[in-house]
Structure 1
Amino acid sequence: MKIILFLLLIIATGAAAAAPDQVNCLSWHLAVETDNIRDWETVPPQCKSYVSAYMTGQQYRDDCNVVVNTAIEYAKTLNVSKEGKDLWVFNVDEVTLSNVPYFSRPTVGFGARKSNVGKKYESWIKEGKSPAVPGVLNLYKTLLDLGIKPIFITDTEEEFRQVRMTNLKKAGYNSWFKFICKGKNDTYSRGYSEYYDTNWKSKKRAALVKSGYRLVGNLGGWWDIYGDFLLRTFKMPNPMYYF
């Protein structure tokens, strides 16, 4: 009996010791999604398996659907102009197109430093196999029915414009008002406090507003939705990268 109790104590102690790492990953994820942890590039090593399980599991899909359904309900309340001046901004990576199949590859992995840039990532873009992010097609189709024009803004370089547009259509996004790629002179500042002055996406949105359009919504990541000119922003879940 004493031996059994001793073994149970070891098991319980081991479980208690493992718990903090899991709690830390959950807390880290919450801080990321609420923008309390900013300007990071690498998932903590102990949380890579957590991020992998989250992004490939049902919880990620459920979280995406909550954002999308909230955006749909908001869109239905809008007084859409008859002049066709109402636009909705869609960003691309982990917003309309998912790179989960790419990050799932053993040679890439979830949380690798700068794994969403470089030649390996460019090769993935050229494949044109990114599926739609769960639920986002429902928002896209609802906006079209309401008379709100979708536009896409992406960090994808101009040279990949055609392959990205083809991928979007293959995934179900069949039409849009504008598709804006990142040009050679379009840059970010990595400093959070300087972001508002150097965010090229914000400048593109400002130009549209200056031309007389109304940006009624924006679906994206943290760096995508900062800035003015928007009636409402919606943050998509993404614990894989911040920038």
Structure 2
Amino acid sequence: MMIPEGAASDYLSWRLAAETPNNVSAWRTVPSQCLTYVEAYMLEGQYGRDLDLIVDQVLSYINEIDPSNDGMDAWILDVDDTCISNLIYYREKRYGCDPFDPAGFEAWALKGGCPAIPAVLGLFNNLVQNGFKVFLITGRDQETLGQVTSDNLHDQGFIGYERLILN
């Protein structure tokens, strides 16, 4: 995928502003000049390599912890775009260049086809096997999306969590 001249520096400047605490300014969409760069990041492997690096760091930390037998050792993971991916939905929204569409997202989520993010599924399984109570949280609506979200997580291998907490 060819990134137009200037797009990389535009993207890097926007990313700095978006990721810096107390962002330079609020933003509702990814700037359209960043589309090609974001798409390349998501699809050409860097996103996966970044996830693997972060999960490896978390696993190193976990390996230093000796959970007690009191049942109080817990870990919290977000559902959307942490445990399961909405990349297919966001591809249709030009990776955030188009505004978020709550009704469109709900229709996507109701399909129950969000794939697991492999690195995070490995982290999840490690946590459960090592005695942590894992809580999954999401802003998804309990009434509308509760069962389909639970089924989707189960189908993707997220089995053994303590509780799924929905909005």
TM-score by length of 2: 0.88
- CA distance change for structure 1 residues 39 and 175 in 2, over 3 Å: closer, same or farther? farther
Which residue of 2 is the match for residue 122 of structure 1?
Answer: 106
Task: Select 1:32's aligned residue among 18, 22, 26.
Answer: 18
2:26 equivalent to 1:42: no
Aligned residue runs from structure 1 range 14-93, under 5 A: 19-35=5-21, 37=23, 39-93=26-80
Q: Is the 8 A contact 2:7 2:37 kept in 1?
A: no
1:101-136 deviations in Å (ceiling 9; x for gaps) = 11223xx32123432x42211110000000112410
Q: Distance in 2 between matches of 1:23 and 1:163?
A: 40
Gap regions ≥5 residues in structure 1: 1-17, 183-243
Q: Which runs of 4+ in 1 moved over 4 A?
A: none
Aligned residue for 2:50, secondary structure, equals helix
Gap regions ≥5 residues in structure 2: none
Look up the equivalent residue of 1:180 and give its one-letter code: I
Report deviation, 1:31. 4.0
CA RMSD of aligned residues (A): 1.8
Sequence identity, in percent? Answer: 34
Aligned residue for 1:156, secondary structure, equals coil
Task: Select 1:131's aligned residue among 106, 109, 115.
Answer: 115
Q: Is the 8 A contact 1:56 1:100 kept in 2?
A: no
TM-score by length of 1: 0.62
- CA distance change for structure 1 residues 131 and 35 in 2, over 3 Å: closer, same or farther? farther
1:36-92 deviations in Å (ceiling 9; x for gaps) = 636422101100121122112200000011111111111111131101111100001
Larger radius of gyration: 1
1:168-221 deviations in Å (ceiling 9; x for gaps) = 111110121111101xxxxxxxxxxxxxxxxxxxxxxxxxxxxxxxxxxxxxxx
